[in-house]
Structure 1
Amino acid sequence: MTDPKNTSNRTNDSDQNIDFSMVLASTVHDMKNSLGMLLNSLDELRTEHGSTFDGSPRFNTLQYEAERMHNDLVQLLGIYRLGEKRLSAHIEEHYLPDFLNEHMARHAPLLQGLGIEALIEAGDITGFYDADLLTGVLNNTINNALRYSRSKIRLTAELRDGYLVLGVEDDGEGYPESMQHSGTLSFKSLDFNTGSTSLGLFFASSVAQLHREGERCGSIRLHNGGQLGGGVFEIWLP
């Protein structure tokens, strides 16, 4: 004869079998949407009260940190989908000058507030890539460049050695030697015991690898120099 108490316990145990990773992903998604609304509100405030907020370091910091958190959440969702093998690239043709100008326009309010000049150099070229995935990569990279630049950042697009190369440069101190990198990053290379895990670089590298043509796949490169003399981030797409 079955013990009713044992049946009840088994039912309760089954009810508590929660997929915590799914709960976290759902929560991160909601947080990302809320931060997106906050960023829109900050842009509107700056537009309405530009003379007040453009020179405010606290307001600029608030907008920068909110953008950084939003980018982090986008990357976390992407990495979750990558781990679940549900992240893929939907390749379409895009006109590079328009694509880069749209991204710079998104950061225009903060650029104005920080007094940073934005340069865009892209030839009359098109490229084949997933615009949504590249948006996540560029937004994070541009935001990082804003943090370290002195007065200028530069976005570039060109065809080089059979690859489409998108670059983000700044006129800051450049990447430390330990961060300069060429190729792809693995998840095992991340160090969660330090203040900087390079999670954004892993996401960018993963996005690059999702872009393939035959035996060729994308990659990222970090080095110093460029026209502005600071850090240079490049994503190479076949």
Structure 2
Amino acid sequence: MPDSQPTQQDHHQPDGGEHPIDFSMVLASAVHDMKNSLGMLLNSLDDLRTSHGETLSESRSFNTLQYEAERVHSDLIQLLGIYRLGEQTLSAHIEEHFVPDFLSQQLARHQPLLSGHNIDYDIDADALNGFFDDDLLTGVLNNTINNAIRYSHKRLRLTAREEDGYLVIGVEDDGEGYPAHMHKHGPISFKSLDFNTGSTSLGLFFAASVAQLHKNGERQGYIRVHNGGALQGGVFEIWLP
């Protein structure tokens, strides 16, 4: 007698009473592994640039490779952060930091890539102490600086000031500026993201979410995205109470 065809229930029900696979957990684990691998790749690229700086600094292909690896690494960090937001396990560990030193550390990480793209950079920061989660803010600034490198013509600047009781940290460039649909002032809802276009603003959603994790009394952080600034290009600002 020929074997019977599997029923719909047979097709969908795992044998042995197994639990359904939590695919979001599988993806999060895979993203974490990819992030670590890309981190090792970026360290190797830095070592290569140090060992063969005269040759590789002028290499367009090498600079593109390092830029794209850095961009994907930042994207994976954001995806993990957004996953933790959805699981309600992402929180801000607030500590005091001297802001000019913190910004110098952020630029130092990108200095080889900035030099490889012939982009001048500087910091215009008041001598302020700020209270924030340095790991979360590093993730936001890594993505923002990397985007600025992509769209800058020749100059990039990090800024910091105090305004209306907020610490305002900014990334400015001399590019064409943000398109009108990306201008933001305040929180960003996940439902507002458009996954049918080439630009989902996922990085801005992550930045806005990180800002909102920083609270002081009834106030919480937010982001501003606009054009202008000292370099007359794109301006990204994160406002922390």
Question: Is the TM-score greater than 0.5?
Answer: yes
Deviation per residue, 1:186-229 (Å, 9 max, x gap): 00010000011110000000000011111111000011111111
Give 1:224's aligned amino acid.
N
Tell me which residue corresponds to 2:119.
Answer: 116
Tell me which residue corresponds to 1:158.
Answer: 161
1 CA distance for matches of 2:57 and 2:96?
37
Matched, 1:40 2:43: yes
1 CA distance for matches of 2:15 and 2:81?
33
Tell me which residue corresponds to 1:55.
Answer: 58
Mind listing any 5+ residue stretches in structure 2 that lack a counterpart?
Answer: 1-9
Give 1:171's aligned amino acid.
D
Tell me which residue corresponds to 1:64.
Answer: 67
Residue aligned with 1:24, SS? helix
2 CA distance for matches of 1:149 and 1:207?
25
Q: Return the offset for 1:124.
A: 1.2
What does 1:98-117 correspond to in 2, within 5 Å? 98-117=101-120
Tell me which residue corresponds to 1:17.
Answer: 20
Q: Return the offset for 1:14.
A: 3.1
Matched, 1:218 2:231: no
Q: Give the paired residue count.
A: 230
1 CA distance for matches of 2:35 and 2:187?
27
Tell me which residue corresponds to 1:196.
Answer: 199
Residue aligned with 1:107, SS? helix
Give 2:161's aligned amino acid.
E
Cα 1:14–1:21 change in 2 (3 A) is farther
Mind listing any 5+ residue stretches in structure 1 that lack a counterpart?
Answer: 1-8
What is the CA RMSD across the aligned residues, in angstroms? 1.2
What does 1:179-194 correspond to in 2, within 5 Å? 179-194=182-197
Identity %: 71
Q: Structure 1 length normalisation: TM-score?
A: 0.94
2 CA distance for matches of 1:119 and 1:82?
33
